[in-house]
Structure 1
Amino acid sequence: MEPSRPRHAAEAAIPDDVRARVMPAVLDELACWGVERFSVEAMAERHNFDPAIIYRYWGDRHRLIVDFALGDNEVLRAETDTGSLRGDLMALARHIANRINTDIGRTFVRALVMDLRGRHDQETRMAIWREQFGAARTILERARDRGELRPDVHALAAVQIVIAPLNVYALYSEEMITDEYCAAIADTAWHALAAR
C-alpha cells in the first residue's frame, strides 16, 4: 500500500538531479512491467534509491507515471501553433511521431496498453489521455476562432484522427514513422475537419 500523498508533494520543486535519476528508472520499470504492475518500491530497490524520494516529490505512483508521460506537453502546445489548421495538424503529427521514433517513446506507448488481468490503472491512463487531449484540443479551438473548422466537428474524434494511427504504428511496428506518413495523416484530418 502506498503512503498517503503529503500536502506539499504537488508544490515541491523537483530538483534536476532527482528527476534525472528517477525518470530513466520509471522508463525501465514501465518497459519491464507496464503500467499495471509498476511499483515504486520495486523500482527504488532495483535502481538503488529510497522510495521516500518518490513520495516526497510526486506523492504516489499515479502522479509519477503521469509526470513522466507529460514531460513535453508544453513543447507540444508551442510547436503546434503554426497559424493554420493544416499546419497545426502537421505539427501535431510530427511531434507525436518524433516522440514515438525514440526508444523511450515507443516503449512508453506499449507500456500503456491495458493488461487484461487488471483495470486498476485506468485512472492513470485517463489522466495521461486527458492532458494530451487538452493540448491537442487547443488546435481545434484556434481553428474555430479563425473560422477554419467545420461547425459540427466532434473534438474527441478529430484529435483521434491524428493520434490513433501513430499509436497503432508504434504498437505494431519497429519502423520509424516517416514525415510522409505524418503528412498523409495530417492531410486526411484536414480534409475531414476543415470548413468548406
Structure 2
Amino acid sequence: MLVRMTTNADEPQTRPRRRTPAGAAVLREDVTEAIRAAVFEELAAVGYARMSIEGIARRAGVGKTAVYRRWRSKLHLVLDVVSAIAVMGLPTPDTGSLEGDLCLLYEVTSRALRHPVASQIIPDLQAEAARNPEIAEAMQKTLREGQEGVASKIIVAAAQRGEISGHLDEDLALDLISGPLYWRSVVIRSPKLPKGYLAALARATAEALKAL
C-alpha cells in the first residue's frame, strides 16, 4: 500500500522519507521568493487597497495556504517586503571623490526610482502610510536605511579624504544629498530628467556640502 507523507510545507511527496526534525515546517525558499515577486507585481497592478491574498497567490502560482504559512495578513506581507528593500540597500560608491560618489549614487538611485514597478508602488505606499502607522514606519526605515545609509558612508569617506568638514550637520547633509532627486523623481514625478541633470546635481551638492 502506498503511504502518502508530506515532508515539505509547500509540496506533497508520494514516497516515504526520513522524518523532518520537530519544529516549524520547512518552507521552500523558491515559493517564498515567488510570493514576494507577486506582491510587487500586484501592488503595481491594483494598489495596496485592492490587493488581496487571493490575487497574490494566483499571481505567484501557489495556494492561499502557502501565503498564510508565511504571513498572517497582507499588511504583514507588505511590511516584510518593504523592510527587505531596506536590508538590501544600495551599493556604496567608491570613486575616490565626493562628486564622483554622488554622481554614481544618483545614477543608481534614479534608475531604481524610475523603474516602472517602483514608480507605481512607492507613491501608493506613501498614500497608505498616511493612514497606517505601521506602513509609515516601514517606509521610513526603508528610505533611511537604504539611500541615507549609503549617503552616510559617502559623507564619512569624503571627510576622511579632507573634502568636507568632519563636524558638519549630518542630518542636513543627508537632506541635501537625498532630497532633490527624490523630490524630482517621486513627488513631482518628472517624466524625464534633463540631459546632464544628475552630474549637475552631484556637482552642486558636493559644493553645498563643502560649504557646511
Can you give the 5+ residue segments of structure 1 that lack an aligned partner in the other structure? 1-6
Deviation at 1:96, TM superposition (A): 0.7
TM-score normalised by the chain length of structure 2 = 0.68
- Distance in 1 separating the partners of 2:107 and 2:27: 31
Q: Which residue of 81, 90, 113 corresponds with 1:64?
A: 81
- Distance in 2 separating the partners of 1:13 and 1:156: 41
Q: 1:112 to 1:14 in 2, by over 3 A?
A: farther
- Distance in 1 separating the partners of 2:87 and 2:195: 23
TM-score normalised by the chain length of structure 1 = 0.72
Cα shift readout 1:11-69 (whole Å, capped 9, x = no counterpart): x99735642x22332223333324xx4867355345353455456667842222221x3
1:109-188 alignment to 2 at 5 Å? 109-115=122-128, 118-120=131-133, 121-132=135-146, 133-171=148-186, 172-173=188-189, 175-178=191-194, 180-188=196-204
Larger radius of gyration: 2
- Distance in 2 separating the partners of 1:99 and 1:122: 20
Q: 1:30 to 1:159 in 2, by over 3 A?
A: farther
Percent identity over paired residues? 23
| Farther-moved stretch of structure 1 (180-189 vs 104-113) | 104-113
- Distance in 2 separating the partners of 1:148 and 1:52: 55
Q: What's 1:3 paired with?
A: none
Q: 1:87 to 1:16 in 2, by over 3 A?
A: farther
Conserved? CA contact 2:99–2:206, under 8 Å? yes
Cα shift readout 1:97-147 (whole Å, capped 9, x = no counterpart): 111232123223323323476132221112202311212211111111111
Q: What's 1:25 paired with?
A: 38
- Distance in 2 separating the partners of 1:50 and 1:141: 48
Conserved? CA contact 1:101–1:177, under 8 Å? no
Deviation at 1:169, TM superposition (A): 2.1
SS in structure 2 at match of 1:112: helix
Question: Higher relative contact order by CA 8 Å / sep ≥ 6: 1 or 2?
Answer: 1
- Distance in 2 separating the partners of 1:161 and 1:116: 24
Q: 1:44 to 1:162 in 2, by over 3 A?
A: same
Conserved? CA contact 2:83–2:138, under 8 Å? yes
Deviation at 1:81, TM superposition (A): 1.6
Q: What's 2:97 paired with?
A: 84
| Farther-moved stretch of structure 1 (164-173 vs 39-48) | 39-48
